[in-house]
Amino acid sequence: MRVLGLETSCDETGIALYDTERGLLSHALFSQIDVHVEYGGVVPELASRDHVRKALPLIQQVLESAGLTTADVDAIAYTAGPGLVGALMVGATLARTLAWTWGIPALGVHHMEGHLLAPMLEEERPNFPFVALLVSGGHTQLVRVDGIGRYKLLGESLDDAAGEAFDKVAKMLGLPYPGGPHVAKLAESGDPARFDFPRPMTNRPGLDFSFSGLKTYTLNTVHTCESEGGLSARDKADIARAFEDAVVGTMVIKCRRALEQEGLSTLVMAGGVSANRNLRAELAKALSKKGAMVFYPAPQFCTDNGAMIAYAGAQRLLAGERDNEDTRVRPRWPMSELPPIGVAAA
């Protein structure tokens, strides 16, 4: 089965073609960063308009790259939620219209399930069951995964998601949007010994996260430096390093705790923040001491992309799922509401 995947949940238009026998055939991505950077964040209406402009040309590009035509597509998967409602509606309307025109099924896919299954696109895949750490601009969750649709939420952020905290700290330091990569880059030149930021909620039981206090601690440190003669380039680098180390340290502690609690030895990390090199290195080092393994998507599939939607959709389409007349996009959509499927991942 060849599945065309459309991702339009926020500010990136991702298109991909996945074959359940041959794997990923082609993919393309257009990022709207240049559109939103002057506003310091995503403007929903501008995002929706840009999806309208870019989606069809990218679909044509992906088909041509794979050497196929519309007649070779067997189904369409699209992001139905969670996300920005206008952006979701663009993808859903386009996908369902094309599916009706081509006489093939369409299926709305959960955005976070796409991220969770993105490591399955790699040659070395994790086996069920495992613990998944989903870290992005909108979500920070620990989930036990016993199969596709068999999810148990273990912990989540009680306030800001990790990616959102990175973006806010970037603003404090005068860094451009999106902030996460800029903070990580700046942190590489920071002194890890100068500041020691707290690891939130690690001194109590449980697997929930909270980054609002860490964000406030960072802001107070910025103000202290400003009051002592101005915020220098060295100050910014050292603060970025302390902040990143605190986030990474918190996640490593929580991931190790989750694996021990569930009696598992496999961790999957996905979402935009999973591309952070410091986080990858520290997790690998900490888990190897426990005899555990960690799996990630390729860096290009950490952020939003069409390949993860095509893959996740393909698994559910193989299990017989299809959209019906009542299918709607869902800006808020708990992953626990997804039905399990009983087929092996292709």
State yes or no: 313 annotated in a binding site: no
State yes or no: 247 annotated in a binding site: no
Strands 12-19, 75-81: pairing kind? unpaired
State yes or no: 137 annotated in a binding site: yes
State yes or no: 81 annotated in a binding site: no
Cross-sheet strand order for the sheet of 23-31: 23-31, 12-19, 2-7, 75-81, 106-110
State yes or no: 336 annotated in a binding site: no
Please give the pLDDT value at position 62: 98
DSSP H or E segment with residue 294: strand 293-295
- Asked if 59 and 51 touch (Cβ cutoff 8 Å), the reply is no
Neighbour count for residue 266 (Cβ, 10 Å): 18
Please give the pLDDT value at position 96: 97
Please give the pLDDT value at position 93: 97
What tokens appear for 341 in the block?
């499927």
State yes or no: 154 annotated in a binding site: no
Residue 271 DSSP code: S
Neighbour count for residue 302 (Cβ, 10 Å): 23
Q: How many helices (H) and strands (E) does the chain have?
A: 10, 10
Please give the pLDDT value at position 345: 54
Please give the pLDDT value at position 38: 85
Alpha-carbon distance of 41 to 170, in angstroms, equals 12
State yes or no: 160 annotated in a binding site: no
State yes or no: 136 annotated in a binding site: yes
State yes or no: 304 annotated in a binding site: yes
Please give the pLDDT value at position 346: 57
pLDDT in tens, 204-262: 999 999 999 999 999 999 999 999 989 999 999 999 999 999 999 999 999 999 999 99
Q: Low-confidence residues of the chain, pLDDT below 70?
A: 343-346
Beta-strand runs (E) in 8-111: 12-19, 23-31, 75-81, 106-110
